Chain A
C-alpha cells in the first residue's frame, strides 16, 4: 500500500492525554497526526471516568503520578478557561468511619501541605461536616477536606482539545488501528500500518491507553506491561442535585479505595468505580460489581436515592506493572515515546503530562519553532439559554433550530446537534458526548430516532447506516419497503 500520509510526529491514541499532547504540539511548527482506532475522541478510559481533579495531596512523593498531580490541578483550571472545558471547583472529602484512620488523614494533609496546598484541613466537628455535606452518614468520624478538588467533564475536555488541535493544524485519523510499526534506520522514520493505510512519521508518541504495551511491543519494547482494571459506575438522575455538594471518598488503604460519591458537572450523581482486573476489551457491568458500588456508596450516604439510577457503565484503568506512569523514551528506540499506564490521577495530570512530553521531545533534539497562527482559545457549542429568554431568542432569530428541542430530558436543541456534526460527530454516541442528547433520564427513548434522522440528513447517509458508535453498531437493519 502506498504511504498516504507523512508527518513529523504521530500520536497513537485520541484519549484526553493524546489530545492534550497534540494540542501542546500544535503551538509549534511540526506536523502532527493523531491515529485513533475508535470513531471519535475520548472513547477509551476518558469517557468512563470519575471526572475528578484531585487536589494533589495523595501518595508517594517519588512516584511520577503523584508528583505531577498537584500542579496538574492548577494547570487544568487554567486550560479549562482557555478552552471552555466544563469544570467546577467543589472540594473533596476523604471520610473515615474509624478514628484509627486519623493518622492516615494527617499524613495526607501533611503531604498536601508539602506539595503546596493551602486549603486543606481535617474536620472532626460533626456540625461543620454536616454543613458541607448534610446527607453524609452519621457514622463518619472525620474527614480530610481539600477545597481545590474539582469535577470536570473528561470527554468534554478531550473534545475541546481535539477541536482546538484540529483548528491549529493537527490531523486526526479515526477508525484506524495501528497493526504494525517498522522503524527504518536509514530514513530515521517509522512506517505504521493501520487499518486505513500506511502512515509515516519521524517520531511516535504512544498514548494507546490499555493497549499501550501492545503498541510498544511493535517496536520491540517490552519494558512494561499494562493490566486493564475495570471500574463499574452507576449514574443517578438529576432530580437529586441538592443532595450532595462535594466529592466524597472512602478512606485510602481500605479495599474499597476509589469508590466515590460525587455530583457530576451536569448535576447528576455518580457512584463508583470498583476495582477488578479485566481483559482489555471488557466493558461489561455485572450484578456483583454494581452491588459492591451501591453498598459502598450507601455507607457514605445512607439515604442515597438509588431508585433514580438511570444508567450503568464500566471503564478501564490502564495500570502498568511499574506501579507508576510510564512516560519517557522507549528503551528500544529513542524516537519512540511512551506515555503509558496513565491510571489515577491521570485526568488531573493531563497538562503536566503534555508539558513533560514536550520537554522530552525537546531533549531528543527536535527544534521547535512557534506556530504563528496558533489560536489558544476554543468555544464550546452554544447551548439553549433557559435563564435568559431574550438572549436565547436572539439565538433563535439567527438560527431557528435553537427553538427546536430534540432531547427533552437535557433540553438539547437541533441547532446544537447540527453544530456537533459540523465539529466532527458522525455517530449517535458522538452527538451524545458533545451535546448530552440522550444522556438524561429517558436514555434516548425520545430523541434517538430524531438524532438518527438529523445525522442521516446532515451527513447525507441512509437512516440504516447511522450507528451508535461506529462499525457494526447499527440501529436499523434494513428499510421495510
Chain B
C-alpha cells in the first residue's frame, strides 16, 4: 500500500526513459520521487529485446536489451526512489493529480509537483491500416510475437510473412529464422525501409531473407488460422498495380507497420499534441503545454535508438528540477515548423534563451542532402538522409540571439538535395 500522498516528482513509465529520469532526479537531489509502471518489472519493452545493438552511443558497448535495462535497474535499486510496479496510471489532471490502480491500493490518487511522462508507444494494428480479408488467428503485431517468443517461450507458427520493414519487423524476421521458422519475406509498402540500415544488413541480408519494397498485403485468407496472404505491388502513389497480385501460403503474418506514441493519459491531462509526431508539443526543455509536465521517450516521438531515449530522460528531468526550483520562466513563443522533406521536429516550440537540440525526422530518403534553417543561416551537409535514422542538430543560444528580438517567431527546418552535387545521376 502506498502511504505517501504527495510527491515532488512522479514518473509514469519504467522503461528506459522513465528509468533514466528517476536516476537523474535522485542524483540531482529531488526528495520524493515515485516511479510507476504497469508491468511487474522495470525496463519497459527492453526485457523482450534480446538482440544486441543497445548502448553503442552511451556505453560504447554492444549490449542486449535486458543488459542495457539491468544497468539502470541496478542503479535505481541503490537509490531511495519509490518504485510502484504492477500499477496502471488511469488519469492525470491539469493540477497534477495522478490516479492509478493496482491490486493493493485499488484506485487511488496522489499529487505531484512535477510529472515526467515516459509512456512508451504501441503498435499499429491490422485494423488501423484497413487490411481486408478474413479474420483468422495468426495475424500478429511484431511486438506481440517478440513477447511471445522471447518471454513466454512459444513460437507462433511455421511459415512467416512480415509486413513492414520497421525495426521490430526486421529483428523478428531474423529471430524467427533463427528459431527454425520459414521466413518467406519482408514486404514494405514504401519504396524504402523505415528501419535502421544496420538492421536491414544484419537481419535480412545476412540471413537471405528477401526484402520486397513497394509491396503490401492486400488480403488475408483463413477461416480459423491464417492460410495465405495476397500480396500486391504498389506504384509511387501507393496505389495497387493492377494484375500484380500473388498469393503466398503462410500461417503467420507479422505486422510491423508503425508505432504510435502512447498518450491517452497525456490527452486526459489536456496536454496539446502534435499531429506530425503523434506525441505532445514540447519546448527545448521537453516541457509539454502544461507547466510542470515533461515528456520523453517513445511517448514523445518514436525513437530509433534507446540511447537517445535515455538522453531525453535526463533532459526532461533536468528541466523538471529547474521547474521545481522555479528557475525558469522564459516564454516559448518561437514555433518550429517542419519544412521540405521533414516529417516532424522535436521540440515544436522554443524560447531562444537556451541551447536547443533539434530532433528531425525525414519524410523520404535523400542523397547528398543538406539541412537548412534559413532563419538563422544554418546549413549542414548530410551524405545520406533516411527516415529510419533521426537527425540531430544542436543550435547554441548565441545563434538564436538575434532571432529572439525579431518579430517573426517562426523557424523552419528543411532537408534539401544539395545544390553543389545537383541531382544524384
Contact = CB atoms under 8 A, between A and B. Distances in A.
Interface of A: 234-235, 239, 281, 283-287, 289-290, 309-313, 384, 386, 389, 392-393, 395-397, 400-405, 408-409, 411, 441-446, 448-449, 453, 463-464, 467-481
B137 A281 contact: no
A281 B221 CA distance: 12
Given A285-B132, A475-B137, 19 more contacts: A281-B223, A283-B134, A286-B132, A389-B106, A396-B106, A401-B103, A405-B38, A405-B88, A442-B122, A443-B126, A444-B144, A449-B147, A468-B136, A472-B223, A473-B225, A475-B156, A477-B154, A477-B155, A480-B149
Q: Top 9 A-B pairs ranked by shortest CB distance? A: A393-B106, A311-B127, A472-B224, A476-B154, A396-B106, A468-B137, A403-B103, A473-B137, A473-B224
B127 A443 contact: yes
Given A402-B106, A445-B123, A449-B152, A309 B130 contact: yes
Contacts of B88: 405, 408
Nearest to A476: B154
Contacts of A384: 101, 107
Contacts of A477: 154-158, 251
Contact of B102 (A289, A389, A403, A474): A403
Contact of B144 (A234, A290, A449): A449
A463 B264 CA distance: 31
Given A396-B103, A480-B153, A310 B125 contact: yes
A480 B125 contact: no
Contact of A284 (B107, B132, B179): B132
A94 B217 CA distance: 37
A287 B218 CA distance: 8
B130 A480 contact: no
B interface residue count range (under 10 / 10 to 19 / 20 to 34 / 35 or more): 35 or more
B365 to A, nearest CB: 25
Contact of A445 (B125, B131, B219, B251): B125
A419 to B, nearest CB: 16
Contact of B101 (A235, A405, A448, A468): A405
Contacts of A386: 90, 107
Contacts of A286: 132-133, 219
Given A312-B130, A393-B106, A403-B102, A475 B148 contact: yes
B233 to A, nearest CB: 15
A405 B103 CA distance: 9
Contacts of A463: 152, 154
A476 B145 CA distance: 9
B141 A445 contact: yes
A357 to B, nearest CB: 31
Contact of B106 (A397, A408, A448): A397
B141 A470 contact: no
Contacts of B15: none
6 contacts: A281-B223, A284-B132, A284-B219, A404-B103, A473-B136, A480-B155
Contact of B132 (A239, A287, A478): A287
Interface in B164-221: 179, 218-221
Given A401-B103, A474-B225, A411 B90 contact: yes
B104 interface: yes
Contacts of B127: 235, 309-312, 443
A479 B225 contact: no
A280 to B, nearest CB: 12
B203 to A, nearest CB: 19
Contacts of B78: none
Nearest to A396: B106
B44 to A, nearest CB: 13
A103 B144 CA distance: 55
A285 B133 contact: yes
Contact of B107 (A289, A392, A467, A473): A392
Nearest to B132: A285
Contacts of B38: 405, 408
B379 interface: no
Contacts of A444: 144
A378 to B, nearest CB: 27
B406 interface: no
B13 interface: no
A312 B88 CA distance: 29
Contacts of A284: 132-134, 219-221
Most A C-beta atoms less than 10 A away, residue of B106, B126, B158, B220: B106
Contacts of B104: 400, 403
B122 A446 contact: yes
Contacts of A449: 144, 147-148, 152
B108 to A, nearest CB: 7
B135 interface: yes
A477 B38 CA distance: 28
Contact of A404 (B102, B128, B158): B102
A476 B148 contact: yes
B125 A464 contact: no
Nearest to B136: A473
Contacts of B123: 442, 445
Contacts of B101: 384, 403, 405
Contacts of B108: 389, 393
B143 interface: yes
Nearest to A289: B132
Contacts of B225: 472-474
Contacts of A411: 90
B399 to A, nearest CB: 37
